[in-house]
Amino acid sequence: MIKKKIIIFTGSRADYGIMSNLIKKLDNKLQTLIFAGSDHFSKQYGNTYKEILRDGIKIQIKSDLKSYSNSEPLSLYCSKILREYSLKILKHNPSSAVVLGDRYEAFIFSFCCFLNKIPIFHLHGGELTEGAFDDKLRHAISKFSNFHFVTNNIYKKRLMQLGESPKRIFDFGSLGEENFRKVKITSKINFFKKYKIPLNKKIALVTLHPETISNVSYKKQISSVLKAIKYKNKYFYIFTSSNSDPGSKIFINSIDVFIKKNDNTKIIKSLGRQDYINLLKNVNLVIGNSSSGVLETPSAEVYSLNIGNRQNGRNFEKNIVHASFDSKEISKKIEKYINKRIKIKKKLKETSKLISKKIFQILNFEKINLVNKFYDIKFK
């Protein structure tokens, strides 16, 4: 049997980390083409293409553009991505595509595939992030897509509300949760020594992205969190980089200045998947508004202080606590939850195996109809 050619898009460290096990399984069954976006080749974001290569995965297609730098409107930058991605996709002529999530790069990739009649398998559809552009981009990607892999039944129902047939939606669980079970765990002492993290202090991991749909200014968003951290200077704080969003330059510059003035802080731009999971398992608290803080911290059984509205609409586990962009409120909750742990029942699924098997089955034994008939819900 001739292997079908499938193009898999990864825009950054975030989606690659989730998909890495799935990519390896698909590579055994199909002819995979890895398309890596510009953030992977940015020093600012840790040159994360190296992690892909370390995993033994080849990058056949790479973006030649620089990461978004806030120097022009995002819409103009996206017009450049559209042309570049179109040319690269047409050159390789894949029979299908895989994309995860909701970022503008993923949206443009999906749009190009859709216009060129390339069937799309979409991961993590049906979710909500009401405080970010990503929310509407995710739903648009879902409408471009032919098949959907969701993480729970709530998100399946939401896709049905968008008119997607339940026959094309598969709930195989969370790839991120599976990753936690498969990563090699390093001893805390060795891990902290590697990154020069003090063993005698409580540790908080901080990942903050601009809330792109908000009435709160970018400056106020970041300053409220940094002010709260300054109040609680008896703890040690590890920052990771912000996404390449509008406002990210303000965040990155503010964090850099803050770290230079406070010796109980440090920044690690990119940890790599294995070390990131090891860090999550060893910190005392996660602070910020990243999807990882909501989706992955339950597996680490650590409290996550979710700030603002960026992640509003997601399904929150009991370890997620919330705060507004108010430094006093944030400070109080840091103090309350940094000393607590929590037990969460886990759903054990071989998600990457289930997804790869279903994709292989569809591509090799089913006729794909590019016309997605709208699924109407009957209201009482």
| Segment among 27-41, 74-88, 262-276, 282-296 with least mean pLDDT | 262-276
Report the alpha-carbon distance of residue 8 to residue 340 in Å, rounded. 39
Residue 296 and residue 229 in one domain: yes
Residue 169 and residue 186 in one domain: no
Residue 134 and residue 62 in one domain: yes
Mean per-residue pLDDT for 159-176?
Answer: 95
Residue 217 and residue 264 in one domain: yes
Residue 30 and residue 47 in one domain: yes
Would you place residue 269 in the very low, low, confident or very high pLDDT band (cuts 50, 70, 90)?
A: confident
Query: What pLDDT, in 10s, does the model give residues 291-325?
Result: 999 999 999 999 999 999 999 999 899 999 999 99
Task: Report yes or no on 344 lying in a domain.
Answer: no
Residue 168 and residue 231 in one domain: no
Query: What pLDDT, in 10s, does the model give residues 85-94?
Result: 999 999 999 9
What's at 142, amino acid-wise?
A: S
Would you place residue 176 in the very low, low, confident or very high pLDDT band (cuts 50, 70, 90)?
A: confident
Residue 59 and residue 135 in one domain: yes
If phi > 0 it is left, if psi is from -120 to 50 it is alpha, else beta; for residue 95 that is: alpha
Residue 194 and residue 323 in one domain: yes
Report the alpha-carbon distance of residue 372 to residue 365 in Å, rounded. 19
pTM to 2 decimals?
0.92
Residue 102 and residue 210 in one domain: no
Task: Report yes or no on 375 lying in a domain.
Answer: no
Task: Report yes or no on 342 lying in a domain.
Answer: no
Residue 122 and residue 270 in one domain: no
Would you place residue 194 in the very low, low, confident or very high pLDDT band (cuts 50, 70, 90)?
A: very high
Examine the pLDDT at 348 and tell me if it is beyond 80: no
Residue 85 belongs to domain with CATH number: 3.40.50.2000
Residue 213 and residue 75 in one domain: no
Residue 120 and residue 230 in one domain: no
How many domains are there within the chain? 2
Task: Report yes or no on 107 lying in a domain.
Answer: yes
| Widest CA span in the chain | 63
Burial of 227 (0-12, 13-18, 19+ CB in 10 A): middle
Range of the domain at 45: 5-173+349-365
Burial of 223 (0-12, 13-18, 19+ CB in 10 A): middle
Query: What pLDDT, in 10s, does the model give residues 45-63?
Result: 889 999 999 999 999 999 9
Report the alpha-carbon distance of residue 296 to residue 319 in Å, rounded. 11
Contacts within 8 Å (CB) and 24+ apart, 255-262: 255/208, 255/222, 255/226, 258/226, 258/229, 258/230, 262/229, 262/230, 262/233
